[in-house]
Amino acid sequence: MRVNGRAILLSSHSMEECEALCSRIGVLVKGRLVAIGTSQELKSRYTNSLFLHIVLRSLKDRELIANEVLTKFPSGTLVTKRIDSLSLKFKICRGAQERLSTLYAAVQEMASHLPLSDFFLLQSSLEDVLENLNELYSGKIL
């Protein structure tokens, strides 16, 4: 399509669908285009957090690991509400200049001395971008 100078406009509320099908994404708030770019550009520009998922070996280690993560990342919040889950999810805010590799190294170092099975870091989703943009523009007259 791009070679022929043509485009398809897809309207959807499914961010997963948009990410899978579109090379560029525009976000409308109150009928106005407030952001446009690739999926990665939008995530970088409009979110400042990552999600840390930790798989526990045992429920008895839950509090120890949660406290350790929140001590290491004071801006972090525990997202997982269930106390009987072997999986913990934390939202970790990162500074504008903080590199993903730096955060990963910090988590890896912390994980080396904690009793956990596995961990992984996830970037914010397009859904998070949409929520942030809606929040940003909800009180403004566009």
* pLDDT above 60 (res 142): no
> Are 42 and 3 within one domain?
yes
pLDDT value, residue 15? 86
Rounded to whole angstroms, the Cα distance separating 59 from 81 reads 14
Verify that 117 and 103 share a domain, yes or no. Answer: yes
Domain shared by 57 and 27, yes or no: no
pLDDT computed for residue 77 by the predictor? 93
Residue 96 pLDDT: 61
**Structure-token pair, residue 29:** 């708030």
Domain enclosing residue 102, as ranges: 48-123
Give which of 141, 122, 131 is closest to 46, Cα–Cα: 131
pLDDT at res. 35: 94
> Are 136 and 62 within 8 A, CB to CB?
no
| 82 shares a domain with 63 | yes
Regarding whether 3 and 56 lie in a shared domain, the answer is no
Same domain for 53 and 23 = no
Instruction: Give 16 or 99, the one with higher predicted confidence.
Output: 16
Separation of alpha carbons 9 and 117, rounded Å: 44
Regarding whether 109 and 57 lie in a shared domain, the answer is yes
Distance CA 110, CA 104 (A): 10
Same domain, 63 and 23: no
pLDDT at 119 over 90: yes
Residue 51: closest CA among 24, 19, 86, 88:
88
Q: For the chain, what is the domain count? A: 2
pLDDT digits (tens, 9 = 90+) for 52-91: 999 999 999 999 999 999 999 998 999 988 888 899 999 9
In this predicted structure, the answer to whether residue 140 has a pLDDT above a threshold of 70 is: no
Residue 44 pLDDT grade (very low, low, confident, very high; cuts 50, 70, 90): confident
Domain of 77, CATH number, reads: 3.30.70.920
- Looking at the predicted structure, is the pLDDT value of residue 141 above 60? no
Interatomic CA distance for residues 90 and 99, integer angstroms = 18
Any idea which residue has 């897809």 for tokens? 10
- Percent of the chain surpassing pLDDT 90: 44
User: Which one is predicted more confidently, 139 or 114?
Assistant: 114
Provide the 10 A C-beta neighbour count for residue 35. 19
- pLDDT at residue 2, rounded to an integer: 66
Q: Is 43 helix (H, G, I), strand (E, B) or coil?
A: helix
